[in-house]
Amino acid sequence: MRPIPRPGLHILRRDLRMLQLGVEWPAVAAILDTPAVAAVLRAVDGFRDLSGVQLAAEAHGVSNEAAHQAIDALLDSGALVDQAVVRPPALDPAIWSTMWLLAGPRSTAAEILRSRRQSSVYVEGSGRVCDQIRALLSEEQLTAAKAPDDATVVVLGADGEPSRAAADEALRRGVPYLCVGIRELVGLVGPFVVPGRTSCLRCVDLSRSDLDPCWRIVVDSMEVRPPREPSRTPSLVATVAGYAASEIVLWTSGSLPSSCDHVVEIPHGLGAVQTVGYPPHPQCGCGWQDRRDTMSA
Ligand SMILES: [Zn+2]
């Protein structure tokens, strides 16, 4: 192993005695800023292997044991990684650094990249939101599928209300999908549906119908009679598209999107972003197969 500092990670002074490893990643840690730690951090350059780093630290007057402990502490915290995990030349360095951080302290950017390369995304729908999601996913270098049947994950997008018919079809297809739309002044991202495992758009409608018995009629009316001149503000479109693309990037990286069993509501002038939970609804058929399996197990 030829260690380098984890790409994208801040290594900062915390106070007179401590260094801070990271600020907003899954494994923020603090470590004593000993002469051994300082010498090891100076020595990691991607050319020296672990023995070379140890020798370089010892050349600065650090004992063998102290250098060894410093290397172990930095490796254990995830602050040092192997230089042998090389960024593909075509991949944006900033995206590569993000992958290193997303991987957490026990994994690598290569694992994230492998997961993404096994994924293909189909964005179903037309309009500004879908156009921007496609552009963002392309920038993230995710593969675009030519048809929903070829995709490992689908986005059902709209500038208005997400289509229930398209959601039903996606559920039948059995491929994970994300519902995205804008309802008047509120952007909607979610639910992200893993068929048979997490709640679907019908579950959301059924939960809302429990609170408002007329919700089903309202939904049907929204689909049948959309506003003649729908509202659309570029900043909300961009926010919704960005959030949706981020959810797909997370899923294709092996993480669970925050919109699983939830709808993220992004209001324009109506308060803060909210993540509203919608567990699978007992009257929705989307999880029946799973529940039968559980009962017979
Ligand atoms: Zn459901």
Q: What CATH number does residue 191 fall under? A: 3.40.50.720
Distance 169 CA to ligand 1 centre (A): 13
Distance 256 CA to ligand 1 centre (A): 18
- Do 128 and 218 lie in a common domain? yes
- How buried is residue 196: exposed, middle or buried, by Cβ count under 10 Å (0-12/13-18/19+)? middle
Distance 204 CA to ligand 1 centre (A): 7
Distance 209 CA to ligand 1 centre (A): 13
Distance 200 CA to ligand 1 centre (A): 4
- Do 56 and 164 lie in a common domain? no
Question: Within a domain: residue 177?
Answer: yes
Question: Within a domain: residue 97?
Answer: no
Distance 191 CA to ligand 1 centre (A): 10
CA nearest to 30, candidates 44, 48, 12, 47: 12
Residue 89's pLDDT band (cuts 50, 70, 90): very high
- Do 255 and 130 lie in a common domain? yes
Distance 281 CA to ligand 1 centre (A): 6
Distance 292 CA to ligand 1 centre (A): 15
Interatomic CA distance for residues 239 and 264, integer angstroms? 11
Question: Within a domain: residue 220?
Answer: yes
Tell me the per-residue pLDDT of 112-125, one tens digit each, with 9 for 90 and over. 999 999 999 999 99
Question: Within a domain: residue 50?
Answer: yes
Distance 85 CA to ligand 1 centre (A): 41
User: Left (φ > 0), alpha (ψ -120 to 50) or beta: where does 6 sit?
Assistant: beta
Distance 175 CA to ligand 1 centre (A): 14
Residue 189, helix vs strand vs coil: strand
Task: State how many domains the chain has.
Answer: 2
Parent domain of 249? 118-296
- Do 197 and 282 lie in a common domain? yes
Of the chain, the percentage scoring pLDDT greater than 70 comes to 97
Distance 199 CA to ligand 1 centre (A): 5
Question: Within a domain: residue 290?
Answer: yes
CA nearest to 119, candidates 145, 140, 101: 145
- Do 158 and 290 lie in a common domain? yes
Distance 197 CA to ligand 1 centre (A): 9
- Which range is least confidently modeled, 5-9, 200-204, 229-233? 229-233
Residue 295's pLDDT band (cuts 50, 70, 90): very low
- How buried is residue 7: exposed, middle or buried, by Cβ count under 10 Å (0-12/13-18/19+)? middle
- Do 84 and 214 lie in a common domain? no
Tell me: pLDDT of 77 over 90: yes
- Do 131 and 255 lie in a common domain? yes
- Do 124 and 218 lie in a common domain? yes
Helix pair angle (201-211, 164-173), 10° resolution: 130
Contacts of 257 by beta carbon, 8 Å cutoff, 6+ apart: 178, 190, 192, 247, 248, 250, 251
Question: Within a domain: residue 281?
Answer: yes
pTM of the model: 0.89
Task: Specify whether the CB–CB gap between 13 and 20 falls below 8 A.
Answer: yes
Distance 153 CA to ligand 1 centre (A): 18
- Do 127 and 29 lie in a common domain? no
Distance 39 CA to ligand 1 centre (A): 57
- Do 46 and 127 lie in a common domain? no
Distance 208 CA to ligand 1 centre (A): 12
Tell me the per-residue pLDDT of 8-62, one tens digit each, with 9 for 90 and over. 999 999 999 999 999 999 889 999 999 999 999 999 988 999 999 999 999 988 9
> Cis before residue 162, ω within 30 degrees of 0?
no
Distance 285 CA to ligand 1 centre (A): 6
Distance 219 CA to ligand 1 centre (A): 16
Question: Within a domain: residue 103?
Answer: no
- Do 129 and 261 lie in a common domain? yes
Q: Could you give the C-alpha distances from 16 to 3, 20, 34, 37, 188, in angstroms and in order? A: 26, 11, 11, 14, 46
CATH number at residue 24: 3.90.930
Q: Could you give the C-alpha distances from 66 to 21, 29, 71, 128, in angstroms and in order? A: 19, 19, 9, 58
Distance 170 CA to ligand 1 centre (A): 12
pLDDT (0 to 100) of residue 288: 63
Distance 279 CA to ligand 1 centre (A): 9
Domain-ending residue, one of 44, 71, 90: 90
- Do 178 and 79 lie in a common domain? no
Question: Within a domain: residue 172?
Answer: yes
